[in-house]
C-alpha cells in the first residue's frame, strides 16, 4: 500500500497538474489531501475541481476556512490583512456556492492505515488550522504539539510549506511541503509518499512561467508577490 499525501495547492493548478502527473508515474494506491486548496493562486476553481474529481479524502486547511468565513483580525499581521482580504474576495468570486459549501464542510482530520501502521493527518496541528510548527522545533515541543492527541505511527501535516521527515521515539512526524506555494527555497512542487517501509518527500518541477502567466491573465491581486514565491520558493 502506497499513499501520496498532497497539500497547500493554493490555486496553483499548473503545479497541481504536474504533481498529479508525477503521482501517475509512481506505484500509488491512493491520494489524500491535507488542505489549502484555492486561496492565493490564479486558478482556484480549476484547482478545486481537479481535487474534487479525484474523489479522495480531503481535509480543511486555514486558507479553506478563510475562503468560507473570511480572515479574522489577529490571524495575520495587521499590515497585510487588507491585502489578503482583497485576495480572499477575488478567490470567492471565482467559486460557486457549491464550492464554498464543499470547503466549509470539510473535516479537519484524516486517518489511514498502511499495513500495520496508522497514519494521522491534519493541516497545522491536531487542535488548530493556524498554529505553526516549524522543522527546527525540538523533539519535546513537537511531541506536545503534534503527537499527544491521537495515537499513531506516522503524523503528517501541511501549512508551513517546508517539507521534512523526523523520527521521534520510533514514530515519524513529517511535513508535506506545498504543491503550489513552496517556502523552503526550492521552486518545485512538493508532496509526500508513505509506504509500509518508507516515508519520503518528492519534488516536482513544473512550468513556473506558465503559472506566472496565469496570474497576469486572470488579474490576480498581489500577483507580483505570488509570482516571486513561484520563482524563488520563498515568501
- Reported as a single tens digit per residue, the pLDDT across 46-67 is 999 999 999 999 999 999 999 9
Query: Where are the chain's structural domains?
Result: 3-232
Kindly write down the DSSP assignment for every residue of 2-51, as one continuous string.
-EEEE---TT-HHHHHHHHHHHHHS--SEEEE-S--SSSSS-HHHHHHHH
Instruction: Give the global pTM.
Output: 0.97
Looking at 3.40.640.10, 3.60.21.10, 3.90.1300.10, 3.40.50.10540, the CATH number of the domain 3-232 comes to 3.60.21.10
| Residue of higher predicted confidence among 211 and 235 | 211
- Is the pLDDT at 207 greater than 90, yes or no? yes
Looking at the chain, the whole-number percentage of residues with pLDDT higher than 70 is 100
What lies within 8 Å, CB to CB, of 151 at 6+ separation is 118
Q: Report how far residue 100's alpha carbon sits from residue 114's, in angstroms, rounded to the nearest whole number.
A: 32
Rounded average pLDDT over 10-15: 98
Residue 235 pLDDT level (bands cut at 50, 70, 90)? confident
Rounded average pLDDT over 110-138: 97
Q: Looking at residue 60, what DSSP letter applies?
A: -
Amino acid at each position: 500500500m502506497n499513499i501520496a499525501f498532497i497539500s497547500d495547492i493554493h490555486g496553483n493548478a499548473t503545479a497541481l497538474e504536474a504533481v498529479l502527473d508525477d503521482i501517475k508515474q509512481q506505484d500509488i494506491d491512493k491520494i489524500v489531501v491535507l488542505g489549502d486548496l484555492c486561496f492565493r493562486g490564479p486558478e482556484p476553481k480549476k484547482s478545486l475541481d481537479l481535487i474534487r474529481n479525484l474523489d479522495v479524502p480531503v481535509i480543511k486547511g486555514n486558507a479553506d476556512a478563510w475562503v468560507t468565513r473570511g480572515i479574522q483580525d489577529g490571524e495575520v499581521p495587521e499590515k497585510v490583512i487588507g491585502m489578503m482580504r482583497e485576495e480572499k474576495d477575488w478567490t470567492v468570486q471565482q467559486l460557486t456556492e457549491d464550492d464554498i459549501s464543499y470547503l466549509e464542510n470539510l473535516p479537519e482530520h484524516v486517518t489511514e492505515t498502511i499495513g500495520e501502521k496508522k497514519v494521522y493527518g491534519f493541516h497545522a496541528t491536531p487542535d488548530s488550522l493556524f498554529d505553526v510548527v516549524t522543522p527546527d522545533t525540538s523533539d519535546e515541543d513537537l511531541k506536545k504539539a503534534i503527537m499527544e492527541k491521537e495515537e499513531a505511527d506516522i503524523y503528517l501535516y501541511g501549512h508551513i510549506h517546508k517539507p521534512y521527515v523526523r523520527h521521534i521515539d520510533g514514530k515519524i512526524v513529517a511535513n508535506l511541503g506545498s504543491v503550489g506555494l513552496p517556502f523552503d527555497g526550492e521552486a518545485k512542487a512538493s508532496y509526500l509518499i508513505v509506504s509500509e517501509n518508507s516515508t519520503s518527500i518528492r519534488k516536482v518541477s513544473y512550468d513556473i512561467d506558465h503559472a506566472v502567466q496565469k496570474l497576469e491573465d486572470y488579474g490576480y491581486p498581489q500577483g507580483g508577490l505570488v509570482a516571486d514565491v513561484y520563482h524563488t520558493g520563498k515568501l
